[in-house]
Amino acid sequence: MIQVYGIKNCNKIRDTRKWLEEKEIEYTFYDLKKEPLIREELEEFVHRIGLDVLINRKGMKWRQLGLNDKNLSEEELFEQLLEHQTMMKRPVLIQDEAILVGYDEEAFEAFVE
């Protein structure tokens, strides 16, 4: 079963869930606002796909925190992401050992096959 991580009121998450439902693909949704990842879970995400892929540097939270102007280490970036998980690119889809980040219907097609 596919696991979908994101924020319930995010347009990309709504579109992702709609796409999965239209294709009749079973999934479990995790709302990061209500159920934030614990440190170990986020460390696993970062280990598997990297901070650069996971962090949305164009998002509202990134801008609100003024992180463009800061020269943060990987560890400091991780701590920011752990504290502000809405800064994560959405959606994050996980199926077995595979992870897909970002809304891309063509990539979804290949991911679910």
Give CA–CA dist 55/51, Å, rounded: 6
Annotation marks residue 10 as catalytic: yes
Which of 10, 54, 87, 93 is an active site residue? 10
Q: Which residues are catalytic?
A: 10
